[in-house]
Amino acid sequence: MNKQSLRDVKREATANLLAEAAFDLALEHGMDGFVVEDVVQRAGYSRRTFANHFSCKEEAVVMGASAFNNVDEVNELLENLVDTSTPLEVLEHLVRMELTAGLFQKTRELVKLSKTYPSLEPYILSSLHRHQGDAQELLLDLFQAQYAIGYIQLLVGAVYGAALPMLYGNSNILFPGQAKDESSESILLDQYLNEMFGYLKKGF
């Protein structure tokens, strides 16, 4: 690994530790119950280091809930692609990785927090757009020669749009570990994903 790559890895690791500390503090005390100084003390860094990564504690809290760090899984996915792989297949793998990593579950907690602290909302939207943009960029890099740009944009938009009800709690989807109420019509997360990608594979 060259010096530049090592520097990037260390920078990302530092940002993740600060973000995780901020998110944990927000869950424990609410947004009004802690300050940046509490974040840096818990993470073991200086206030200046925090300022090098985040503009405010709200931005750090959102990153702590929404950062996807399973880079090795993504690299393994890309290494195992075959010539017949499609954008939809790759996108399905990416979404399942994010969900099994607990990303959407943590972000759902963040959304609940934002109902009490609206100052979080702009940063949540920015994070969602970043995840969608990253997925779109990856698919364009892999498939732009075979598929129209408009198709990839529409596909990514449809998938991430379908994820929003899960995020905002407006669905009957059960995450792993959640108990099902006998009187409810809840469905398991895997079942929801199977149905969602089934629609996309068949066309609707």
- Res 1: pLDDT: 44
CA atoms of 128 and 66, how far apart (whole Å): 8
The angle, 0 to 180 degrees and rounded to 10, between the axes of the packed helices 121-143 and 57-66 is 50
- Side chain identity, residue 154: L
Domain end point (choices 35, 64, 93): 64
Domain end point (choices 36, 64, 92): 64
Task: Check pLDDT > 90 for residue 187.
Answer: no
- Mean pLDDT in residue range 71-82: 84
Shared domain check, 104 and 29:
no
Shared domain check, 75 and 38:
no
Q: 138: phi > 0 → left, psi -120 to 50 → alpha, else beta; which?
A: alpha
Answer whether 110's CB lies under 8 Å from 123's CB: no
Shared domain check, 25 and 9:
yes
* C-alpha dist (Å) from residue 184 to 49, 109, 187: 47, 21, 9
Tokens of 18: 């600060």
Residue 101: DSSP 8-state: T
- Res 171: pLDDT: 67
- The range of the structural domain enclosing residue 13 comes to 1-64
Tokens of 115: 């109902």
Domain end point (choices 13, 29, 64): 64
Count of domains observed in the chain: 2
pLDDT-based confidence at 181, cuts 50/70/90?
low
Shared domain check, 150 and 74:
yes
Q: Where is pLDDT greater, at 2 or 34?
A: 34
pTM for this one? Answer: 0.80
Q: What is the pLDDT of residues 8-30, one digit of tens each?
A: 778 888 999 999 999 999 999 99
Map residue 68 onto helix, strand or coil: coil
Map residue 176 onto helix, strand or coil: coil
Of 6-15, 39-48, 95-104, 131-140, the range with the highest mean pLDDT is: 39-48
Answer whether 152's CB lies under 8 Å from 140's CB: yes
Shared domain check, 142 and 163:
yes
Task: Check pLDDT > 90 for residue 169.
Answer: no
Return the number of other C-beta atoms located less than 10 Å from residue 85's C-beta. 15
